[in-house]
Structure 1
Amino acid sequence: MNYLAHALRFLDRPYYVAGACLPDLLSVADRGVRLRSRRVEPMIPLAGVDEAELYRGVLQHLHDDDWFHATRGFAEVTGDIAVLFRKAIGTEHPTPCSFLGHIVMEMLLDSVLIERHPDALDRFYAAMEEVDPQRIQAAVNQCARQPTERLAPLLPQFNAERFLFDYASAEGLAYRLNQVLRRVRLTPLDETAIGAITSARDVVEAKIDQLLPPSLFVPEPVTSRVASASLISARPGT
């Protein structure tokens, strides 16, 4: 799942939205910093209201990733998209098509959700602009093994760039995909990727209910991965 897929159900809760995006944001800002549920969960009863919401959002992200990557839809769609890219860019291209199947599926999932929820991106960025970058960085440094000073400067840039709007077109998504590939030191794609992206979007749209089963993609409290018997409240101030 990508940014909007994690945050879509919680757009009226800014710090929860930010928390749901934090693992992905940290992968851009400072890849060495990891958030683990066993360190995040104990912070909730000790934190202020906003910080507790942030931590709940992080747990939501981790919970979502657990079930999402285990779905049949995830395995099938990433495989289908990998085949599309293998045909489009050839077997000699150094970028692994398995990686493309995964990352492009997640980007296209956001693209489909954006189309289905026309006001979602404006609400998403409005929520992200309400949070205090320094408070978020301080909260991360309370529970991450390795502290960071790179997160707070990234958040205003993330909001200003609004790159999720580029997912509306195959060309825009290809441009953002190449940015990801460069960041992880993989070879960018040329214009042959456009056709694969267009076909891949049809696959994601056709199987979105398998990727986001209604029984799992619901705005409910998440179950801790550390203490599986206890439910983490997803309500502010609890």
Structure 2
Amino acid sequence: MNYFAHALPHLDRPYFLAGTALPDWLSVIDRKLRLRPRLLEPHRESENADVRELVAGIAQHLEDDGWFHVTRGFVETSAEIGLLFRTRLQGSDGFRCGFLGHIVTELLMDAALIERNPRLLETYYRQLDSVDPQTVAAAVETIAGRAAHRLTEFVTLFLRERILWDYQTDEDLLRRLNQVLRRVTLSPLPAEAAGWLSVARVRVVERLPELLPREHYRLELGAESLGLA
């Protein structure tokens, strides 16, 4: 699950939203810094309300990933999209295609949710803009017991770049996807892959209710308006 899907049921809680994003932020700047449940537990009742909300958001991210990655919708859709890339790339680099099946499914889920109600993405960014990146970094260092180098700068960059808006077009999504591939030292995709993303986008939209089943994913704002009913 990616940033917006994690955040969508909790848009009224700024530091909680930051917490749902933190595991992914840390995976970009320091893959060895992982906020495991055992590290969170001592801080759940922190005297600092912002820290409590961050911890709750991190815990929500971990809980979401626990059920999401074993749903039939995700297992089948990510495998199907991985096969799409493997076929287009003529069988080259099976690991990259498996990775693409996973990440493209998640990015296109965000795209589908944003397309149904883009004003909610405006709310998401407006809420995160009210969060102090230095407070977030200090809390992470307290929780992890080690320095979170570059986290303040990265959160500031994340808020400035507004990358989730780029998920709406295949060309912009491909550009962002290739940035991820380069970061994890995998070969970027060719320009024609924008067309492959278009095919995958249709499939993710079709499977969205199975990717975010209502027994796990509850939206106060109304599942019907987001195509999850």
Q: Which TM-score bucket, shorter chain as reference?
A: over 0.9
Which ranges in structure 1 are unaligned for 5 or more consecutive residues? 221-238
CA RMSD for the aligned pairs? Answer: 1.4
Amino acid paired to 1:218 = R
The within-5 A match list for 1:89-168 is: 89-93=89-93, 96-168=96-168
Query: C-alpha distance in 1, partners of 2:170/2:162?
Result: 16
Query: C-alpha distance in 1, partners of 2:130/2:143?
Result: 22
Which ranges in structure 2 are unaligned for 5 or more consecutive residues? 221-229
Identity over aligned pairs, percent: 48
Query: C-alpha distance in 2, partners of 1:47/1:86?
Result: 51
CA shift for structure 1 position 66: 0.1
CA shift for structure 1 position 92: 2.6
| TM-score normalised by the chain length of structure 1 | 0.89
Query: C-alpha distance in 1, partners of 2:94/2:146?
Result: 32
- Describe the SS at the equivalent of 1:96: helix
Query: C-alpha distance in 1, partners of 2:37/2:93?
Result: 37
Q: Pick 1 or 2: higher relative contact order, CA cutoff 8 A, min separation 6.
A: 1
Are residue 45 (structure 1) and residue 45 (structure 2) matched?
Answer: yes
The within-5 A match list for 1:77-88 is: 77-88=77-88
- Describe the SS at the equivalent of 1:218: coil
The one-character-per-residue Cα deviations of 1:112-132 (angstroms, maximum 9, x if unpaired) are: 000112212111111111111
| Residue pair 2:86, 2:92 contacting (<8 A) in 1 also | no
Amino acid paired to 2:22 = L
**Deviating 4+ runs (over 4 angstroms):** none
The within-5 A match list for 1:64-75 is: 64-75=64-75
| TM-score normalised by the chain length of structure 2 | 0.92
CA shift for structure 1 position 149: 2.3
Distance 1:103 1:8, change over 3 A: same
| Residue pair 1:19, 1:54 contacting (<8 A) in 2 also | yes
Matched residue pairs, number? 220
| Residue pair 1:7, 1:17 contacting (<8 A) in 2 also | yes
Richer in helix (by share): 2
The one-character-per-residue Cα deviations of 1:28-74 (angstroms, maximum 9, x if unpaired) are: 12222110111112201124111101110000000000000110111
Amino acid paired to 1:72 = R
Aligned counterpart, 1:195: 195
Amino acid paired to 1:118 = P
